[in-house]
Amino acid sequence: MCCPKPEVTVESRLRTIQAHDSVVGDIAFSPDGTILASGSDDHTVRLWHVSDGTPLRTLSGHTDWVRSVAFSPDGATLASASGDGTVRLWRATDGNLLHTLTGHTDQVNAVAFSPDGLWVAGVGVGGDNSPILVVWDVRTGEKIYQRSNHTLSGGAIAFNPDGSILATGGGHADKIIQVQRSSDGQPLKSLSGHEAWVADLAFSPDGRFLVSGSGDGTIMVWMIP
């Protein structure tokens, strides 16, 4: 006799938040799960109480689409990446701007904190030898290094769990995943197989596997020694 069918609820949506005046480009939970951050084409980042969906604060300053948001591992800092070519660091408790991080010459598509929260990395559009990957010191806002390991743009980024490796996914031009040493961006290997841009990346909790999602409709699983 087969297993009983799982119970399916007709409606599982808890609430709808009318969050922004335009496209919501990215969302992120705080590490403790109490705050939700959203970035939008309306150039703002907004924070919400998860428990009831009420607004907490609006963070303004970007002059173009906010394409990516991420909380630091301790939840104290929020990073936002924008089409205006900057990454901004905000104090999560009160929304004060801590640093405006520069280095890209065009839009920044994705942002991620290192596992120890000391560094933040952003990938974006390059060209004419301008950087695609830039890594900054969270405390000082100073640029640590920059790299152009992709043909023209990067659209995804992820640190492995111990912070030693940084993976970036290429855009329409190269469709490649670059696995690089996080300390200096030195390339370790290139992973090819996708037929469109790499839209997202995630490491497994043990760091052995990297998963990539692409505009070609596929998910690929890679072993990272």
What is the dihedral sign for C-alpha 171, 184, 139, 33?
positive
Predicted TM-score (pTM) of this structure: 0.90
Task: Tell me the sheet residues that pair with 187.
Answer: 180
Q: Is there a contact between 47 and 37 (Cβ–Cβ < 8 Å)?
A: yes
Tokens of 108: 């920044």
Q: How far apart are alpha carbons 79 and 168 in whole angstroms?
A: 17
DSSP at 174: T
Per-residue pLDDT of the chain (225 residues), as tens digits, is 455 555 545 567 677 777 777 788 899 999 999 999 999 999 999 999 998 889 999 999 999 999 999 999 999 999 999 999 999 999 999 999 999 999 998 999 999 999 999 999 999 998 766 789 999 999 999 999 999 888 888 899 999 999 999 999 998 888 999 999 999 999 999 999 999 999 999 999 999 999 999 999 999 999 997
Tokens of 55: 């607004």
Spell out the domains of the chain, with CATH numbers in brackets.
24-199 (2.130.10.10)
Give the angle 145-151-157 at the CA atoms, nearest 5°: 55
